[in-house]
Amino acid sequence: MDTSDFQMFLEESLSGVSCFQVGSTMEPTLDPRLADLLLLISRLPARPRHTFRLQTNGILLHRHDHVKMRDAGLTILTVSVDTLDPSVVAQACQRSS
């Protein structure tokens, strides 16, 4: 989505939010604009008042400007650790039961 379309969508759709999460089913660090989009969100009149979360698998996090992320006011960085290795999944399931 074009950045200006994203901004227009947010400005027209949100009057205010308590929590805002970037990332969930799609990996946000694939977009090279990530840090700038976070700054854009943080500068909206309807910016998140309580929680501003980035959900990522973390693999490409090093490619992004962490200072901009901080300046955007991120409050939570959630990193999922996933694997396709069945033995690792089995170990994790055993530990959680």
Residue 41 pLDDT? 93
Domain containing 59 equals: 3-96
pTM for the whole structure: 0.77
Number of structural domains the chain divides into: 1
> Residue 61 maps to which CATH number?
3.40.50
Instruction: Judge contact between 51 and 73, C-beta under 8 A.
Output: no
Residue 7 phi/psi, 5-degree rounding, is -65, -45
**How far is residue 88's CA from residue 10's CA, in Å, rounded to a whole number?**
40
Per-residue pLDDT of the chain (97 residues; tens, 9 = 90+): 899 999 999 898 888 888 889 998 789 999 999 999 999 999 988 888 899 999 998 889 999 999 999 999 999 999 887 777 788 777 767 765 5
**How far is residue 76's CA from residue 13's CA, in Å, rounded to a whole number?**
23
